[in-house]
Chain A
Amino acid sequence: MASGGTVFGGFRCEALVGSGSSPEARACLKALVRTYGELLAIYSFMHMALKEKSMRLLIGELADRATEIKRSVRSSPAGSPGLAGQGHALSHLGRADRLLVEAEEHLQRGVLVSDAPLLGLLSNAAIELKRSAAILGTTTFDTTACCGGSLLGHGEEDHGSAFDLGA
């Protein structure tokens, strides 16, 4: 720990990670961070599609997916008493939520007078998500499916065998 606070992934926070919440509640919050990460990715692509007219075909579907995600966020138990010990992570997540709500308002207008505000909102949301993810020890995006995900719970052993590539 550095003096004056805890360093998480290169930035400093003044509060410590809460330890009063249950593992289940913590897991729930981690999942919520990754859900917001997916929302951030969708809004980032929507921003790009607004700039590139030929990429606009998928904007409607992206917006539909964003609506689904927001519905799932509303039904998550993130505000439950079980998460009381995670106030610090929740505060960063709350900021990310507000920034993404504001970004969505820009996207819904469909026409960007200026790119800078929306880019700023998305960039700041990414920073807040990164902070909450670092506090919780998770990632801002779901990597559980990477290379087989939970299907392959253990690493490949090195058998050291000579194998026939053409087999």
Chain B
Amino acid sequence: MGAHSIWVLEYSRSPVHPVSGVFYGAHNQGTMNLPFAYILIKTGDAVVLVDAGHDAADFGGQIANSIGVTGWTPPDLVLGECGIRPQDVTHVILTHAHFDHIGGLKFFPNAKIFIQKKELESWMWILTKGRRFRSLQAGLNPADILYLTQANIEGRLKLVEGERENLVPGVHVYPAFDTHTAGSQYVVVETAGGDGKFVLSGDVIYTYSNLTGGDANDPCFVPPGLANGSQTRLIESAEEMLKIVGMDERRIVPMHEEQLSKIYPSRQTDRQLMLVEICLADGDVSRV
């Protein structure tokens, strides 16, 4: 037990995600089931979301449809499983600016928003380059940038430059530049009661097989296939995360990992979405 409760909340899924998007070099390997999720952290008075999902009614929903994402469920229902309302969320930490991580920001009107400044600068640079560079624009929804601008005017947008420790007590963010995207970041939760650390990897690691190559006895890093940055940097960042958790892979929490529900206590909601309980704070009530 410690000071933090952490839940992984599936809000949507793709039953037909190309394997090659998840594993670099896995050509002609068909499709796989891929959960889409965000992560809820409760500690003290803070209600922190790591990423915000997308809005099915917006352009992000069109991108989602185009890649076979189904079963989108609104945040009030998803968070309601943990007794949280969207307006209760105090902080949203964005691991990167792809539509399925940033597009749901509008549902959390009271939250401060934390994103690496480099992530936004990289999108600006891509847009200056013109149509020939449009493959780098994949996953961007211009309306999300408008929303960030509005949040900035309201004083809710916080641009992070590199590391930020104790963003809230025991919750740290670290950069993973030039990996999945140019300005990706990941989150470390340091529980106070001796549970150690958990790493919330964003899309720098999609699944445990990115850490092992599917062979626990002879592990091999296989980085995600979908990346604007470098495969080498993805592997370096994965190693960095492993070191933070003392090489205990199970303390890394990839939000697209379907096996989380087999490792941690979990249940399926009425809407057939997985709710995974990574850890519970002292005195908090289990939701699974």
Contact = CB atoms under 8 A, between A and B. Distances in A.
Interface string A47-71: 1110110110010011011001000
A37 B152 contact: no
B66 interface: yes
Nearest to B61: A9
A147 B213 contact: no
B77 interface: no
A58 B59 contact: no
Contacts of A140: 59, 142-143
Nearest to A55: B121
B18 A45 contact: no
Interface residues of B, number: 55
B174 interface: no
Contacts of A61: 125, 128
A159 B116 CA distance: 39
Contacts, number: 142
B123 A145 contact: no
B29 A62 contact: no
Q: Which of A44, A45, A146, A165 has the most CB of B within 10 A?
A: A165
A122 B121 CA distance: 20
A104 B45 CA distance: 42
A75 interface: no
B142 A155 contact: no
Interface string A77-106: 000000000000000000000000000000
Contact of A48 (B30, B128, B129, B148): B148
A49 B157 CA distance: 13
B145 A41 contact: yes
B23 interface: yes
A145 B20 contact: no
Interface string A126-167: 100010000000011111111111000001111111011111
A164 B218 CA distance: 12
B124 interface: yes
Contacts of B135: 145, 148-149
Contacts of A44: 142, 145-146, 149
Given A44-B145, A48-B120, A155-B68, 7 more contacts: A119-B146, A145-B138, A147-B18, A149-B135, A156-B30, A159-B28, A165-B220
Lowest 9 A-B CB distances belong to which pairs?
Answer: A41-B142, A158-B30, A166-B213, A61-B128, A165-B214, A146-B138, A145-B134, A159-B30, A145-B135
Interface of A: 9-10, 37-38, 40-42, 44-45, 47-49, 51-52, 54-55, 58, 61-62, 64-65, 68, 115-116, 119, 122-123, 126, 130, 139-149, 155-161, 163-167
